[in-house]
């Protein structure tokens, strides 16, 4: 049986999921850059 | 006469054999063949293949039937229904991964994020055919990461755990076949020939130690459902990097990972009983798994091409490295490097592709956690 109306739930999940993962990874990237700056040997 | 009846009763179980069980023997044999002859993820496909035969014998005592408690069902209750086995395996995986090259160039992690597109696209697609929980579980095949797929499918109580596992591990092993055509379709020869000279950076030991702690906190704050997955992966990595627990790190990488792998394969096979596996849905799940891998690859490559629009000449990226953002480590990183060398025998992409591949490991776990958070 096809759930033709499922896109109303799954499409927003797809968009939120992709934005969410890029944001989380973006924050991790910034955190690593910060760590690299702070712990860099002079 | 009595003797004959007794003798005949020895073979009465043959009457309980169904054609679906025989199909499962064939699938079990195929998995064993792929593991031994083709060396495709043998540590998992072999236990799964043997287990598939074991649990599909009529009235098999390996699984719980009626009042008889089977050992594989007991293992499932002990280590899978509470997600313990995949999490313990993650400690071993975390201890195996060297994040050093990735920490030198942390921006490469963005490709890991982009290459999770297949998961979310497959969720959208699978939603048309399955209810939401099963669709989300099937989508995580695109994590290209067996333990994450098991964890999510189990947490969401999916009825398709066996098929999802077979799809996840099979496609991971098939990365060298699945990815190249997609990469070639989305890139020009000129793009595939872009060289990316590698300059070694400098990462302190303190950064390597703080990294797993920072990732756990960040991922846990945004997607609390992922904190078990990310936390166990990062705990394993902390064992590796702390420098004072080498014996524990070695144990996690070898003994723990091997032990869990043995029971994990058999336990997953417990879900591959004919009544759950031999049905049209299984073929659909395998097809959706392929879609997930294809769109993961496309997501990574297209993200690199998008970045190239803004980068000056001479700084452009080889878009193939984006494809390594799927978590299938290290196959995907090697595939990209090999494709680079095929186009230009001096085009060494390995350091970039492996770094992106490692970032895919983190991103896929976080994506699994995001799926759980969105489903909550």
Q: Which long-range contacts (CB under 8 A, 24 or more apart) does B330-337 make?
A: B330/B354, B330/B357, B331/B172, B331/B173, B331/B175, B331/B176, B332/B144, B332/B175, B332/B179, B332/B357, B332/B360, B333/B357, B333/B358, B334/B176, B335/B175, B335/B176, B335/B179, B335/B180, B336/B179, B336/B183
A27 inside domain: yes
A34 inside domain: yes
Given a cut of 80, whether residue B81 has pLDDT beyond it is no
Please give the pLDDT value at position B1. 62
Boundaries of domain holding A28: 7-39
Which A residues in the span 1-42 are in contact with B, Cβ-Cβ below 8 Å?
A: 2-4, 6-7, 9-11, 13-14, 16-18, 20-29, 31-33, 35-36, 39-41
- CB atoms A17 and B374 under 8 Å: yes
Q: Quick one: closest CA in A to B123, which residue?
A: A10
Q: Which of the four pLDDT bands, split at 50, 70 and 90, describes residue B241?
A: very high
Q: Burial letters for B297-329: b for 16+ Cβ neighbours within 10 Å, e otherwise?
A: bbbbbbbbbebbeeeeeeebbbbbbbbbbbbbb
- How far, CA to CA in Å, does B362 sit from each of B46, B73, B188, B307, B368? 27, 31, 29, 21, 10
Please give the pLDDT value at position B213. 94
A22 inside domain: yes
- CB atoms B128 and A41 under 8 Å: no
- CB atoms B222 and A13 under 8 Å: no
The stretch B319-338 carries a mean pLDDT of 89
Beta carbons of B202 and A7 less than 8 angstroms apart: no
A15 inside domain: yes
Angle formed at CA B175 by CA B143 and CA B196, multiple of 5 degrees: 95
A2 inside domain: no
A20 inside domain: yes
Chain A hits for B113, CB-CB cut-off 8 Å, are 21-22, 24-26
A12 inside domain: yes
Please give the pLDDT value at position B125. 95
A1 inside domain: no
Q: Is the peptide bond before B330 cis (omega within 30 degrees of 0)?
A: yes
Indicate the residue of B128, B210, B215 with minimum beta-carbon distance to A3: B128
Domain count, chain A: 1
ipTM of the complex: 0.92
Given a cut of 90, whether residue B275 has pLDDT beyond it is no
Chain A hits for B215, CB-CB cut-off 8 Å, are 28, 31
State pLDDT tens for residues A13-31.
999 999 999 999 999 999 9
Please give the pLDDT value at position A42. 56
Given a cut of 70, whether residue B181 has pLDDT beyond it is yes
pTM score, whole prediction: 0.83
Chain A hits for B214, CB-CB cut-off 8 Å, are 28, 31-32, 35
Q: Which residue has the higher pLDDT, B143 or B135?
A: B135
Q: Which long-range contacts (CB under 8 A, 24 or more apart) does B39-43 make?
A: B40/B170, B40/B173, B40/B174, B41/B169, B41/B170, B41/B172, B41/B173, B43/B258, B43/B261, B43/B265
């Amino acid at each position: 049986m096809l759930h033709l109306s499922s896109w109303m739930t799954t499409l927003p999940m797809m968009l939120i999921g992709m934005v969410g993962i890029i944001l989380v990874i973006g924050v991790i990237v910034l955190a690593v850059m910060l760590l690299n700056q702070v712990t860099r040997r002079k | 006469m009595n003797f004959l009846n007794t003798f005949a009763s020895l073979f009465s179980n043959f009457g309980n054999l169904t054609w679906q069980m025989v199909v499962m023997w064939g699938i079990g044999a195929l998995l064993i063949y792929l593991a031994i002859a083709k060396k495709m993820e043998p540590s998992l496909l072999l236990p799964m293949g043997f287990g598939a035969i074991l649990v599909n014998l009529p009235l098999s005592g390996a699984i719980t039937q009626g009042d008889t408690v089977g050992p594989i069902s007991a293992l499932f209750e002990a280590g899978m229904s509470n997600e313990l086995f995949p999490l313990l395996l993650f400690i071993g995986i975390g201890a195996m991964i060297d994040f050093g090259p990735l920490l030198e160039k942390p921006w490469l992690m963005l490709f890991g994020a982009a290459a999770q597109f297949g998961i979310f696209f497959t969720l959208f697609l699978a939603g048309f055919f399955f209810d939401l929980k099963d669709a989300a579980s099937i989508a995580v095949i695109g994590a290209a990461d067996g333990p994450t797929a098991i964890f999510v499918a189990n947490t969401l109580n999916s009825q398709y755990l066996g098929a999802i596992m077979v799809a996840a591990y099979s496609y991971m092993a098939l990365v060298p076949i699945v990815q190249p055509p997609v990469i070639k379709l989305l890139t020009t020869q000129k793009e595939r020939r872009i060289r990316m000279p590698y300059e070694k950076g400098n990462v302190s030991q303190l950064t390597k130690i703080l990294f797993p702690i920072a990732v756990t906190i960040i991922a846990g704050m945004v997607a609390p459902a992922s904190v078990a997955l990310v936390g166990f992966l990062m705990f394993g990595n902390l064992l590796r990097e702390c420098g004072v627990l080498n014996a524990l790190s070695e144990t996690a990488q070898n003994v723990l990972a091997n032990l869990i792998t043995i029971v994990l394969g058999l336990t997953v096979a417990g879900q591959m009983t004919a009544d759950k596996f031999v049905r049209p849905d299984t073929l659909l799940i395998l097809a959706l798994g392929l879609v997930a891998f294809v769109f993961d690859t496309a997501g990574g490559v297209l993200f690199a091409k998008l970045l190239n629009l803004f980068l000056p000449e001479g700084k452009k990226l080889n878009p193939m490295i984006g494809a390594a953002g799927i978590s299938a480590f290290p196959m995907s990183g090697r595939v990209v490097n090999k494709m680079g060398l095929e186009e230009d025998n001096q085009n060494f992409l390995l350091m970039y592709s492996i770094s992106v591949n490692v970032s895919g490991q983190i991103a896929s776990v976080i994506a699994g956690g995001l799926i759980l958070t969105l489903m909550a």
